[in-house]
Structure 1
Amino acid sequence: MSTDAVVRPTPERLPLRERKKLRTRQALVETALDLFTRRGFDGVTLDELCDAVDVSKRTFFRTFASKEDVAMAPTQDLWAAFLDDLETRELDERPVLQLVEDALLAALASMTADSWTREVRLSLQLATETPSMDAHGRAFCDRTTRTALAILHRRLAIDDPKDLRPRLTLDVLVAAFHCALDVWAASSKAGSRTALATHFREAVAALPSSLTLTVAPRPT
């Protein structure tokens, strides 16, 4: 299976100004997740978060649109990388499901920050406790799916807007990833990106048999 990832500049190769922006962004994410986890999402004001990182609210809003955005940055970064990869990935004759699976695996491999997996776990736990984060996540997922769908229609020359296959392909991909994420997050061990990728591959592999699963009542 090909996983031709998009080549992106490493932080070390970025201009100094961009490196500073990335460091500020990462500090906001790490500090926000730590504060939200200890005191609750609603127990930390935006002013308190900015003070803890020693940045202005203006700087915050140049980086994130809301507290929900900074709290969900780890998974949102993953899906942003997925869209980037899907936009530039070399196309061949493989099934579209394999194409989008490879794009998401490449995006996952690009999440190289040592703290990423910890941040994802904290973000997921907060989302289960915070209705506004849950709603924000659903809206983000919908926007991401629509953007990915537009990319597929354009790059694969799918001209019929009523063709349901690309949307269904993306929907099952997202469902498989959420299943994998649930299994990975529930593990008592500190899961790695590799473990998450393995769970995701297993979930995708289970999709064909899930569509042919037949009713077999338990004997009484």
Structure 2
Amino acid sequence: MTTVDQPGTLRERKKLRTRAALADTAVILFSERGFDNTPLDALLEVVEVSRRTFFRNYRSKEDVALTAVTHLWNEFLVVFDESEQSGPLTELFRDTMLTTLDRMDDSWYQRFPRTLELVDQSPALNGHTLRHCAQMRSEITRRLTAPDSLELRLVLEFCVATWRCALEEWHAPHTPEDLREATRRAFAAMDTSLRLRV
């Protein structure tokens, strides 16, 4: 796994520490008390930051709770832009996701499983996540040279659904290699599953 270079100035480092403290504490606090039952002020009290400081770093309570999800997809787009973008789109999506997972650090792998549990428990977070996925599909479509079409939209829907299935197969202790292997298995099963008969 790669590590991100630390910002150079004291102000940048302080802001990064504040963002991390808010994200880490939010996941723990919301897991203990429930996302919908925990007001934003409770988080600010624990981290000891003002509302002004919070909103300089995050747009909403949903935003801070889903930091790990946003981090993943933002890095996914970076990797996607760096890729050759040739061949079957399902393989491009899979390989981009696997490279993205390689770039996630230990703190992300600690935060992400709890974030998934929060999403399952909160209709508000689940809806927020679905909207974010739709935005990511649009971003991926915009980056492709292929024209937007029904086929393209369908294959991206399949890819996102396959990724979500991989997450459902990722069980405790939630190791990085287990998630990568679940992703490989899910994408390997895609063609067979589309031909499944009943």
Q: TM-score, normalised by structure 2?
A: 0.91
- Residue 84 of structure 1 aligns to which amino acid in structure 2? V
The whole-number CA distance in structure 2 between the counterparts of 1:213 and 1:9 is 41
Correspondence for 1:126 among 118, 131, 135: 118
Counterpart in 1 of 2:25? 31
Following superposition, the deviation at residue 19 of structure 1 comes to: 2.7
- Equivalent residues of 1:74, 1:116 under 8 A apart: yes
In the alignment, structure 2 segments of 5+ residues that lack a partner are none
- Residue 167 of structure 2 aligns to which amino acid in structure 1? L
3-state SS of 1:65 partner = coil
- Equivalent residues of 1:117, 1:192 under 8 A apart: yes
Correspondence for 2:94 among 86, 98, 101: 101
- Equivalent residues of 2:27, 2:115 under 8 A apart: yes
3-state SS of 1:43 partner = coil
Counterpart in 2 of 1:205? 188
Task: Work out the number of aligned pairs and report it.
Answer: 197
Following superposition, the deviation at residue 66 of structure 1 comes to: 0.9
Correspondence for 2:150 among 157, 164, 173: 164
1:1-220 to structure 2, matched below 5 A, reads 10-12=4-6, 14-16=7-9, 17-92=11-86, 94-112=87-105, 114-152=106-144, 156=145, 158-159=146-147, 161=148, 163-184=149-170, 187=171, 189-215=172-198
- Equivalent residues of 1:32, 1:71 under 8 A apart: yes
3-state SS of 2:36 partner = helix
Following superposition, the deviation at residue 18 of structure 1 comes to: 2.9
Counterpart in 2 of 1:218? none
Following superposition, the deviation at residue 55 of structure 1 comes to: 1.8
Specify the structure having the higher radius of gyration (Cα): 1
Following superposition, the deviation at residue 77 of structure 1 comes to: 1.0
- Residue 114 of structure 2 aligns to which amino acid in structure 1? L
The whole-number CA distance in structure 2 between the counterparts of 1:165 and 1:18 is 44
The whole-number CA distance in structure 1 between the counterparts of 2:36 and 2:192 is 43
The whole-number CA distance in structure 1 between the counterparts of 2:70 and 2:24 is 15
Over 4 Å off, 4+ runs: none
The whole-number CA distance in structure 1 between the counterparts of 2:13 and 2:173 is 29
CA shift digits 1:127-176 (9 cap, x unpaired): 12211111111111111111111111xxx2x24x3x22322222111111
The whole-number CA distance in structure 2 between the counterparts of 1:71 and 1:91 is 32
The whole-number CA distance in structure 2 between the counterparts of 1:193 and 1:9 is 15
- Residue 162 of structure 2 aligns to which amino acid in structure 1? A
Following superposition, the deviation at residue 9 of structure 1 comes to: 7.4
- Equivalent residues of 2:3, 2:103 under 8 A apart: no
CA shift digits 1:2-45 (9 cap, x unpaired): xxx9xx87233x22333322221111011111111111113322
CA RMSD across the alignment: 1.9
The whole-number CA distance in structure 2 between the counterparts of 1:34 and 1:213 is 40
How many percent identity over aligned positions?
Answer: 38
- Residue 83 of structure 1 aligns to which amino acid in structure 2? L
- Residue 8 of structure 2 aligns to which amino acid in structure 1? P
